[in-house]
Structure 1
Amino acid sequence: MSARAVVTGIGVVAPSGIGADAHWRTVLDRTRRTGPITLFDAEGYPTTVAGEVAGFTAGEYADTRQLVQTDRWTHLGFAATRLALADAGLPARAPDPYGYAVTLASSSGGNLFGQRELQRLWGGPSRTVGAYQSIAWFYAASVGQLSIHHQFKGPCGVLVAEAAGGLDSLAHAVRTVRRGTPVVIAGATECPLSPYALTCHLASGLLSGVADPAGAYRPFDAAASGYVPAEGGAVFVVEDRAHALDRGARIYGEITGWAATHDASHTTASTGVAAGPDTGPAEATPATADPAGPADPIWYARALRLALDRAGVTPDEVDVVLPDALGVPRYDRAEAAALRAVFADRPPPVTTQKPLTGRAHQGGSALDVATALLAFRHDTLPASAGPEDPADGCDLDFLREHRRPRSRVALVGARGFDGFNSALVLRGAPPPRQGER
């Protein structure tokens, strides 16, 4: 239980770019990467803006058999894992299969593949689905395919907690390292962009209906109107620190604390109201209607506190917070209230890049972890991509300019639909000396 878990490889495949360097350039330049949906014809849908991975060619990262058997969500996972292993200086095939594991997060599964097969079932003359429907759609498909392809035979698993899952995956990776597996692939990718998937998201009433990408997703802003969906995410090599040092690996940082709580309440259709057993069902209203009362931040605040306590970090040591940033007014206010409850009159800088990329669910929280680790690597806390006009109740210390870190400690928070709350504390390694990789 004394093993320390560090991150030695980062693989990003997201709207912000393919590769950690491309993602970091997008973050520094605050370049918006959301735009009209192109993966299918979204004309006629209330939401037409999303974050897509531009220029992604699945065949560069997976062979023909894998492409036929799996969904784009898994293709993104193949790519991010390959990039993470290369970044960590590890081989694609494990020299010790039982010393490597895969623990990723998932939520919606293989949407595009499933859409195609179901359309063939009810719209084609064969009235059948392909043999790989049950494999590609399955929420654990990426974990299974990656463990087979890379021959990683250690303890493998999948975490399902919607957006919070990206952080839960890394927490579980630390536990796996402490139980004796020296290398774990963790993180998440997502692809929620198909007619079926978008319809499911629209049922929540939390999606933005703004057609202009520049104004569609504005968390914590007075003009917030909901979130913009996105694909992609980030995958990491989480490694036993002693194992990493023995092989001379570059270390981005250490995962020092984590926590998860649950609101025990359902996110109701069209409102995001946390309806407890005594409140009855909420009426369907648009996300911008913002009915009275906050989306209860108590358990989210508890997750943030627990993560700091388990990391041995006091609130005033935190350099930066990367929040969930849903972009729904009541949820933004609730998140701001949770941060104030934890940090009182000493709020740390807050930065979010989600307006640039969209909300990639579990992939989005993993992408926030990549941003935090790269910030410490480059000795630069990136300015937040908003808000321009903070909403009432969202008065946080948003980073307006890049600045150097002080303590090299980041707190990443995420809230998954239906009550999931997770938090992760990262301690960044010192920046490389001149001439180091």
Structure 2
Amino acid sequence: MDIILEVEPTVGWDLCPAEILIIIFEKLDITSLRCCSLVNRRWKEIVYDICEFKELWKEFAEDGVANCAVMHRSKSLLSWKDLYFNSLLWNNIKSTTINKINEIEKLIIKSIFVYKDNIIIVSSTNVEYYNVESFQLVGAISVTCDCVEETDDMIVVGSKNNDYYRITLFGKLDNSNNLKSIEKHFLGETYHDACEVSRSWRWKLHNNACYLIDFKSILWRAYRLDNTWHVKSLARYFGVYQDAIENSISVMHIYKQQDVFVSFKFGDLMRVDRNAIEFRRVHRPEVPTHVITGPIIDRKPYKKGLDKFNAFLSAPFGVGFDAEFTEHDLVHFYYDDPTLSCGMQHGEVVFLGYDDGRVAIILLKNYTEPVRIINIKDFEKYALLDPAVTGLDVCEVKNKHMLFVKTNSKMYQLLIEYPDNLIREQTELWG
């Protein structure tokens, strides 16, 4: 005799009234709240309503975008809300169309840098600023240098002399004559809010501060506070590469606001210990966390020079990476490819440039292979004599991205667009 038991259906979270969910969600920290937005569409809509009502988009973006959204914020004029949603779009990069919309040709292009809504182009004769959307020239100065970069507080001009840089930091003036004042400074007129570092091997701008490693292997942090320059030493390197540090450093990375990591070309990854005022090795070169050779992940011992590009990613919860990386919540990626010419990390997206004109776009969470590969030669009617990619940068524009690709004599502005139906669907959800 069969016995049939009838069980009353349990009440699930999908039946929970929105009012109850709001009460619960409002008691959560920002990371937990963001995780709730990933459960389903209903929860996502409620979480977004809370962010809108309580004006939490800044905290939401800083928690949800890689490295507290510092890179994204410096390369966009978007609101915190739009910036967060733009960062999510990168996950759909496979479905995009990428087209050239502008290009500039010079005798020599030394560097490019995106700040907010401008692309800064340093050539052999001058420095030019172009608006990224209109591509109109908005400023130019006759200064001979190798690179110009900006933050909200400063303009940094780097001039290369042999293996080192002379770095000059200019505090931004209250008026709009910063560029002309800098031009006059190089002509001999004193710029009253400038700070100069004569010999620096590596430097990096991050969150309104400039980090520099000088010829004595000392790491400095320069920043402005109350219109006054502050330059503080953070640590000194005493390792085996000290006598040749100018040729040993590959990448400097600032993680979670002020945690400094330095990658050496021979494999070592060092972290700045501010208590001991020294560099401490995070892991040994014999066992790197990840070495990526093309699309293949190789965990075998690796000792070759690492002089092209490194990338960093926050370690996801529960992922079994090496113990020393679990401590810092950081995964370090090496890219080993003899044809790799440059690289650029934009949050959790990496752009790799190659000698033959290719640009590979990689999502670090899916690092096994590039999600898109383009070639600047496809945008040319005639063959390029030198197609090697020597510089990359990105600008975030609402619902799309601008990718800038530089060779030794040309810069291409590429527009990355998503399908209309995807943008429409996301807009309906995001509001």
Q: Which of 1 and 2 has higher RCO (CA within 8 Å, sep 6+)? A: 1
Larger helix proportion, structure 1 or 2? 1
Larger strand proportion, structure 1 or 2? 2
Question: How does the TM-score come out when normalised to structure 2?
Answer: 0.26
Question: How does the TM-score come out when normalised to structure 1?
Answer: 0.26
The structure having more radius of gyration, on CA atoms, is: 2
